[in-house]
Amino acid sequence: MLNYPGIKQTTGAEFAGLMEKQLKFNGVNAELGVEIKKIEKKKELFLIKTNKKDYLTKTMIITTGARARELNVTGEKRLKQKGVTYCAICDGPLYKGKEVAVIGGGDSALEAADFLLNLAKKIYIVNLADSFKAHEYLQERIKKHPKVTVIPNAETKEILGEKFVNGLKYKQKGKIKILKVQGIFVEIGRMPNAEFARGFLELDVHNHILINCQTETSVPGVFAAGDCSSVHEYQYVIAAGQACTALLKCARYLARKR
């Protein structure tokens, strides 16, 4: 990770460790392994049903994040974190000097390829469509780079390898082909972790929790921030800024209730 203010460079795991230490220092209790099943309104309170127990609360901030959209092809789950990854910024340095494939054709795919230019030996972009959907400046930068080979109209069928990734099987114009790579970056979008909010909060067309610039949702007293919200920008610094805003708005909401 290279894009959080005040931190020159870190990994996702190291950053999570720093956050955990800060929580402990400030006496904040974190309950792990809790999955929200449903949220209901109970008079002036909110009932949060989880896989462990139920909670009654006066207000809440939802920061459940998003997960990478998967290909759902043979070999993907088995080789996850063994050559299959969903974050170039997080895992790109592990593939320095190697040949890799980036799967996708939007901004996230080309941004991943752009980040990998100074790391990977060779980058193949495997795109299901015949053209990119990314910003023009990204397309110009990526298409002309000597390290990059674009494979259009290619449907990924299988990820190959025993202990680690060593190839990719794809279908192009009715023919099955094999691409020899040591790393695969799946960049086909993200899915918000907001299924539990359906029917309780208003969601956008992509199932993100709709919020305004105050981080307020469609239900007074409920706030949301980060990747699960309708901001559609997946950056730690953006999520942190939104969460801080939500916390301030949440405190003011409670103060008005006194």
Is the pLDDT at 107 greater than 90? The verdict is no
Residue 89's pLDDT is: 82
**Predicted confidence (pLDDT) at residue 205 exceeds the cutoff of 90:** yes
Q: Round the CA-based radius of gyration of the chain to a whole number and report it.
A: 21
Neighbours of 1 (CB within 10 A): 18
pLDDT, one tens digit per residue, over 212-228 is 999 999 999 999 999 99
Give 72-187's CATH code, choosing from 3.30.1120.10, 3.30.470.20, 3.40.50.460, 3.50.50.60.
3.50.50.60
pLDDT 10s digits, 20-38: 999 999 999 888 899 999 9
Query: In the predicted model, what is the mean pLDDT of the chain?
Result: 93
CATH 3.50.50.60 fits 55-67+192-258, yes or no: yes
Portions of the chain given CATH number 3.50.50.60: 55-67+192-258, 72-187
